[in-house]
A and B are shown apart, each in its own frame.
Chain A
């Protein structure tokens, strides 16, 4: 290895699932496409448009998502998104600050996906669990 740096262990303090509207036609996504979607890129193994939504209701969950799924820090993610917005004309990734807002956003937009704790996902009948993230 050219660069030796300790790999960060996946956090086991929280688990998370990928969710979307129960009326959505989106099924499971591979990890590569999940990562691409949340970085504002197009998925390679899907034929439909999929829009990511960041769940900021739980800061710890959000940081774990960045670490475990996107493999970057909050700073690094923000830097990457801002550069995509102003270099490639990409859109900012949508954000919701509360769980209720997230559920409503997903319910109203079947082409959108987000992440949430399994406990929260089971409480809301308008969304479906696509897969476990970690």
Chain B
């Protein structure tokens, strides 16, 4: 399986290069080396999409990852970008996170076609890029989605304005996930999940010390459990807002999201509030996040909260050392994820 994926990657690179052997190729990447341990409790689910969790023994896999991004500018309008990653939570099996063509229609408007990360939450499309945020990982209660990528088309519009930087991302597509990591773990059986007819819109606005973001997504869901269809064409809707403030050295980050799947009587709300302070190379931070599912007629009651305390140390250019304590309170009875836990993580994030 790994050899097959690597072969596809190599074939892709050769294709890109053969299209125009004079094309400039830019290579960039990131890496996270993270170790952690549950100090109290049994298990801590640190990475929902990849079902990466810590237990009472030290582990260096759930949050560790490496990513390589290769871009090739073929002419003034067309560019190929591919991002390959290997994550410890899934045995460092190489996978393609991104592989898309970028065509510049107008100076402010570009078309992306191919595979990209699904931009539901603020950190969704750079979730594994640890260097980009001060936590070990984005607050877990907000990033519990079983689907994190999609194949489709995006229109990116970045209008020229003098005061606010803005970006609009309109996207359509689908994702088929066979033996989905998260759902297969939660149901303890093979689960295939498809999100189809995905249509979404993201708006981002920033000015000086303020960042605002909204996200909307509609799609339909199909699900098979042990090859038996349990859901078909079920409509689902996601909406979210994020407000980030950076006045002087203070950092205030927040998210609020609502997910609805009306036919299944499911409504889930997630939130995150984080306070950080940048003092020279140090950024201590405190975060509260939570997920609460409205009680369903079937008794579904997923509800969990996490308090996190940590510090980031930017001791070298493009390298940061982080430590973090996480306390999880799992209030679900019918749907309990991994129970209460307290855990410690330490990690190194870098970009190149």
- What's the Cα separation between A83 and B204 when bound, in Å? 13
- What's the Cα separation between A32 and B161 when bound, in Å? 7
B138-163 interface mask toward A, CB cutoff 8 Å, 1 = contact, 0 = none?
Answer: 00000000000000000010101110
Q: B108 contacts A44, CB within 8 Å?
A: yes
A124 at the interface (CB under 8 A from B): no
Q: A86 contacts B160, CB within 8 Å?
A: no
B171 at the interface (CB under 8 A from A): no
Chain B residues lying within 8 Å of A72, measured Cβ to Cβ, are: 208
Nearest chain-A residue to B73 (Cβ)? A91
A57 at the interface (CB under 8 A from B): no
Interfacial residues of chain A within 82-127, with CB under 8 A of chain B in the complex? 82-83, 85-89, 91-92
- What's the Cα separation between A49 and B104 when bound, in Å? 12
Chain A nearest CB from B251 CB (Å) reads 9
B103 at the interface (CB under 8 A from A): no
- What's the Cα separation between A79 and B83 when bound, in Å? 19
Nearest chain-A residue to B104 (Cβ)? A42
A28-69 interface mask toward B, CB cutoff 8 Å, 1 = contact, 0 = none?
Answer: 000111001001011110000100000000000000000000
Chain B nearest CB from A42 CB (Å) reads 4
B346 at the interface (CB under 8 A from A): no
Q: A41 contacts B158, CB within 8 Å?
A: yes
Contacts across chains A and B counted by CB atoms under 8 Å: 66
Q: B165 contacts A39, CB within 8 Å?
A: yes
Nearest chain-A residue to B247 (Cβ)? A5
Q: B278 contacts A75, CB within 8 Å?
A: yes
B131 at the interface (CB under 8 A from A): yes
Q: B98 contacts A89, CB within 8 Å?
A: yes
- What's the Cα separation between A80 and B165 when bound, in Å? 11
B246 at the interface (CB under 8 A from A): yes
- What's the Cα separation between A17 and B112 when bound, in Å? 36
A14-25 interface mask toward B, CB cutoff 8 Å, 1 = contact, 0 = none?
Answer: 000000000000
Chain A residues in the interface with B (C-beta under 8 A): 3, 5, 31-33, 36, 39, 41-44, 49, 71-73, 75-76, 79-80, 82-83, 85-89, 91-92
Can you name 24 A-B residue pairings with CB atoms under 8 Å?
A: A5-B208, A5-B247, A32-B160, A32-B161, A33-B160, A39-B165, A41-B107, A42-B104, A42-B108, A44-B108, A73-B246, A75-B278, A82-B351, A85-B28, A85-B69, A86-B126, A86-B132, A87-B125, A88-B102, A89-B79, A89-B81, A91-B28, A92-B26, A92-B28
